[in-house]
Amino acid sequence: MNYLDTSALIKRFVVERGSELVQKLVTREGPIATAKIAYAEVYAGLNRKRREGHPSARDYRLVRHRFEYDWQAYVRVDLRDEMLPLCRDLAERHPLRGFDAVHLASALGLQRDVGEKITFVAATRVCSRPPPQNAFSS
């Protein structure tokens, strides 16, 4: 399973550096997972790009429709209370922004819950190494 944070997920809908890799993952590599917060983040990112002039209003409507359709197929991860200490610990140990910590904690929690390797994709980086043994310790 592949976990896409928002920076990777948005590349599914806008052509930019890294979009080709995301397209390959989405079409060839099995299920896609993401945190439910990505829904709002994708719309915020798309609208920021739209304010900057791309995509056009017509293209935005098409992208919006495609995102809504695709969203239904994603494995969507809830932010559960028991994940909050992991978010905190990740933010303390690594130079992460808040939602980055949530995405990483969501991927680690999903990996633990499903018992299989999760490939974490962020922007143009793919991280398929298993998390450290102490990733879930508080």
pLDDT tens readout for residues 75-96: 999 999 999 999 999 999 998 8
Let me know if domain 2-127 sits in CATH 3.90.226.10: no
- Tell which wins on pLDDT, 41 or 125: 41
Mean pLDDT of the chain: 87
In angstroms, rounded to a whole number, what is the distance separating the alpha carbons of residues 92 and 116? 26
pLDDT tens readout for residues 15-73: 888 889 888 888 887 899 999 999 999 999 999 989 998 888 899 999 999 999 999 99
User: Cα angle vertex 100, ends 99, 105, to 5°?
Assistant: 95
In angstroms, rounded to a whole number, what is the distance separating the alpha carbons of residues 1 and 111? 9
Which whole-number Å values give the CA distances from 49 to 35, 52, 76, 94, 106, in the listed order? 21, 5, 24, 28, 26
pLDDT reading at 129 higher than 90: no
pTM: 0.84
- Residue 134 DSSP one-character state: T
pLDDT reading at 110 higher than 70: yes
Helix (H, G, I), strand (E, B), or coil: what is residue 124?
Answer: coil
In angstroms, rounded to a whole number, what is the distance separating the alpha carbons of residues 54 and 11? 13
Q: Residue 127: what pLDDT?
A: 52
Of the candidates 125, 118, 133, 22, the residue with the CA atom closest to the CA atom of residue 70: 22
